[in-house]
A and B are shown apart, each in its own frame.
Chain A
Amino acid sequence: MTKKLKDFVFSIVLILLGIYVIVESLNIYHKAAEKPYKITQFTISPGFLPFLLGIALTLTALILLASSFRGEKIGEALGNRKTEFVAWTKTAFNADFLNMTIGCVLMFIYTFFLVQLLPFWLASIIFLVAMFLFLRIGKPWKAVVLAVLVVALIVLLFKYGFGAAMPE
């Protein structure tokens, strides 16, 4: 992805986020004006600083957006970004991207499901075996033995060494 395309895409996301923060901070102000808080003055309301931050984010994102158009007319710039985006999609989804995505998905499953539902030791062994197999560190038995040893060491160190309670 070219630098200009990166700035263009991210600044659009940031502008939307900035507008959302402004709207939400005004909601906070209106809600805080009701019972039991009854804070009617905007500058001392809990929505004041978020409002300022929303404005600051929108303004700085607009500056970033403008810098991604530097040296080009708006129509021409939009056309260029479109071309750059199409070119990027042709090269972006390579083997490295796929590996990183699969790795992230495995970490997501471990974080949001395995650790939340299973005892820590079991969740971690399943995760490590899956990761080692995915990263092709060697034969499956090697992955299992390594995962069991690592988790046993971690549990021993934290649970019995540091006296910390592990997720159950």
Chain B
Amino acid sequence: MQYVLQAFQTALEPYNILVMILATGAGLLMGMLPGLSATMAIALLTGLTYNFPTQTALIALIGVYVGAISGGCQSAILINIPGTPASAATALDGHPIAKRGEGGLGIFLATTASMCGTLISVIFVLSFTPVLTKFALKFASWEFFLIAIFGILICGQLTSNGNAVKGWISGILGLIVSMVGLDVVDTFPRFSYGNVNLMGGIQLIPVMIGLFGFPEIVKAFKRGNNSDAAPMSSFNMKKGWALVKEHWWPIIRSGIIGVCVGIIPGVGEDVGGWLSYWTSKNTSKDPDSFGKGNELGVISAETGNNSCIGGAIIPVLSLAVPGSAPAAVLLAAFYMHGYRPGPLLMSETPDFIYRVGIYLALAAIVMWALALVISRVSVRILSLDKRILMPIIYVLCVIGSYLINYNLFDVKVMFVFGLVGIALSNFEFPASPFLLGVILGSMADQNLRRGLRLSKGSLLPMLQRPICIVFLVVNILMILSQTGIFKPLMAKLRKTK
């Protein structure tokens, strides 16, 4: 309780309130504009918050995260183009609602559902994280190595559009990139070629800005890339609140689904939105109305994607394993500001979890109010010329990369990984496992080699620990599932049913 009060006290300082409003507003704008993702928004802001006091930086980062995930719904509803992938499911019913002249109601429902989703996830963050952190204290080197591999495998499988091999390749490439520089155990320079900058390792933020921001900037150079927005109408709050009240159960259900999806390493808010939408459609008495402007579609998708925020933060805090790409950036930002998420978090900085929870809840409320205000000018914002916007965004990408270490080498790294991002996108490889590989590579290497050192080079102890065996079996099953080995078994099961 003491920590919760402290968190409120910090968040309600005038300077921090101002920062939260500005950051959440910036996040909303970034999320609203197609091509500027939540990951990019946090990545950019991470560099910019370098000189901020720690708590102010945390408030800014969480505000921009909540804002960016929620902002995507406005473009999804008004122009049928999701501002972020997280709002893709929202467009299905949101845009038909706007087309029938109820754009204001659609945005009100989406924004309110987003707030509810985030608030539901806060409950899980505050209740689950301490439990998971305690459980994670049982983890030793082998478990951490296997959880890193599990993260890459599951992220690769779920983000690769049906071809898990591509997702895994992307993850392996990320792991290889993380090997560059002095190794953490013996300080031996790997893949550095005598270059001092490379010996310091590849920094996460420039890689992320490059992977996620650069391709979107380059795509904007195509001709005829702007879209027309549907007209905005009044919010019709009375009807909106009545609908939210009527659909209280799908909101809670979508919130829980989103949290569960968020907890899975590397699987992002877009999956949370889709899965919640799909569940509501399948349990509805009138599934045919979905895709034609059913309000429940918007509510489910937005609750689902926003509750992923808290879900994705749970493994960040307890295991230092990010639940989604934006959460990965948040993890890097936590490190940058002196926090060490992981099993020791509760003993080293017990107030941190409560601070994150409270900042998330306040950001959700600020987002709700701001989103409704901003939606009055959304149509104008969405008509911004990308030919003007994108070069400016690139200048911001350059500053964002530079400010991490005040090193111009990182700016070059950002450009190189921008080209890698374009290649991955063009050859239909997901970028999220790549990023997760870069993040988890050091953890995997450090723990594998520490384990091997203690066992004098033997892999046998891995097979003697129960948690390791569970992870090993799950990892092997995941790989085998791609070989089609379970197809006859599944066919038999279906026949018996």
Candidates A1, A3, A49, A158; contact of B445 at CB < 8 Å: A49
Let me know if B415 and A56 touch, CB within 8 A.
no
Report the tally of A-B residue pairs with Cβ distances under 8 A.
156
Find chain A residues with CB under 8 A from B166 CB: 64
As a 0/1 sequence over residues 99 to 125 of chain A, the CB contacts with chain B under 8 angstroms (1 = contact) are 110111001101110011000100010
Let me know if B395 and A150 touch, CB within 8 A.
yes
Let me know if B172 and A28 touch, CB within 8 A.
no
Candidates A41, A53, A135, A167; contact of B172 at CB < 8 Å: A53
Find chain A residues with CB under 8 A from B391 CB: 127-128, 131-132, 135
Find chain A residues with CB under 8 A from B388 CB: 132, 135, 137, 146
CA distance in complex: A27, B403 (Å): 35
Candidates B48, B387, B448, B459; contact of A162 at CB < 8 Å: B48
Let me know if B398 and A115 touch, CB within 8 A.
yes
CA distance in complex: A137, B392 (Å): 13
- Answer whether residue A82 sits at the interface, using C-beta atoms and an 8 A cutoff: no
- Answer whether residue A48 sits at the interface, using C-beta atoms and an 8 A cutoff: yes
Find chain A residues with CB under 8 A from B392 CB: 128, 150
Q: How far does the Cβ of B423 sit from chain A's closest Cβ, in whole Å?
A: 8
CA distance in complex: A95, B224 (Å): 12
Candidates A21, A31, A64, A158; contact of B165 at CB < 8 Å: A64
Report A41-97 residues with CB < 8 Å from chain B CB.
41-44, 46-50, 53-54, 56-57, 60-61, 63-64, 67, 95-96
Find chain A residues with CB under 8 A from B290 CB: none
Q: How far does the Cβ of B309 sit from chain A's closest Cβ, in whole Å?
A: 25
Known: A103-B218, A112-B412. A48 touches B165 (CB 8 A): no
Q: How far does the Cβ of A164 sit from chain B's closest Cβ, in whole Å?
A: 6
Let me know if B185 and A46 touch, CB within 8 A.
yes
Let me know if B402 and A167 touch, CB within 8 A.
yes
Q: Which residue of A lies closest to B388 (CB)?
A: A137
Let me know if A135 and B395 touch, CB within 8 A.
no
Find chain B residues with CB under 8 A from A115 CB: 398, 408, 411
Q: Which residue of A lies closest to B413 (CB)?
A: A111
Candidates B179, B412, B414; contact of A53 at CB < 8 Å: B179
Let me know if B168 and A60 touch, CB within 8 A.
yes
Find chain B residues with CB under 8 A from A43 CB: 452, 457-459
Q: Please tell me which stretch of B63-71, B186-194, B239-247, B344-352 contacts chain A, meaning at least 4 of its Cβ atoms lie within 8 angstroms of it.
A: B186-194
Q: How far does the Cβ of B434 sit from chain A's closest Cβ, in whole Å?
A: 12
- Answer whether residue A152 sits at the interface, using C-beta atoms and an 8 A cutoff: no
Q: How far does the Cβ of A124 sit from chain B's closest Cβ, in whole Å?
A: 5
Q: Which residue of A lies closest to B179 (CB)?
A: A50
Let me know if B176 and A158 touch, CB within 8 A.
no
Q: Which residue of B lies closest to A49 (CB)?
A: B445
Candidates A47, A63, A96, A166; contact of B223 at CB < 8 Å: A96
Let me know if B395 and A128 touch, CB within 8 A.
yes
Let me know if A135 and B169 touch, CB within 8 A.
no
B-side interface residues, number (CB < 8 Å): 61
Find chain B residues with CB under 8 A from A144 CB: none
Candidates B169, B399, B414, B426; contact of A64 at CB < 8 Å: B169
- Answer whether residue B453 sits at the interface, using C-beta atoms and an 8 A cutoff: yes
Report B382-423 residues with CB < 8 Å from chain A CB.
385, 387-388, 391-392, 394-396, 398-399, 402-403, 406, 408, 411-412, 414-415, 418-419, 423
CA distance in complex: A38, B108 (Å): 65
- Answer whether residue B444 sits at the interface, using C-beta atoms and an 8 A cutoff: yes
CA distance in complex: A116, B362 (Å): 41
CA distance in complex: A103, B267 (Å): 32
- Answer whether residue B471 sits at the interface, using C-beta atoms and an 8 A cutoff: no
Q: Which residue of A lies closest to B222 (CB)?
A: A96
Let me know if A49 and B179 touch, CB within 8 A.
yes
CA distance in complex: A32, B186 (Å): 9
Find chain B residues with CB under 8 A from A63 CB: 165
Report B442-458 residues with CB < 8 Å from chain A CB.
444-445, 448-449, 452-453, 456-458
Let me know if A14 and B396 touch, CB within 8 A.
no
Report B311-345 residues with CB < 8 Å from chain A CB.
none
Let me know if A53 and B385 touch, CB within 8 A.
no
Candidates B165, B190, B221, B412; contact of A60 at CB < 8 Å: B165
Q: List 9 additional contacts besides A107-B418, A137-B388; criterion CB under 8 Å.
A: A24-B191, A48-B448, A48-B452, A57-B172, A100-B222, A115-B411, A124-B395, A127-B394, A135-B221
Residues of B within 8 A of A (CB): 48, 50-52, 163, 165-166, 168-169, 172-173, 175-176, 179, 183, 185-186, 188, 190-191, 217-219, 221-223, 385, 387-388, 391-392, 394-396, 398-399, 402-403, 406, 408, 411-412, 414-415, 418-419, 423, 426-429, 444-445, 448-449, 452-453, 456-459
9 contacts between A and B (CB under 8 A): A3-B428, A43-B452, A61-B169, A96-B221, A100-B222, A102-B221, A150-B392, A154-B395, A167-B402
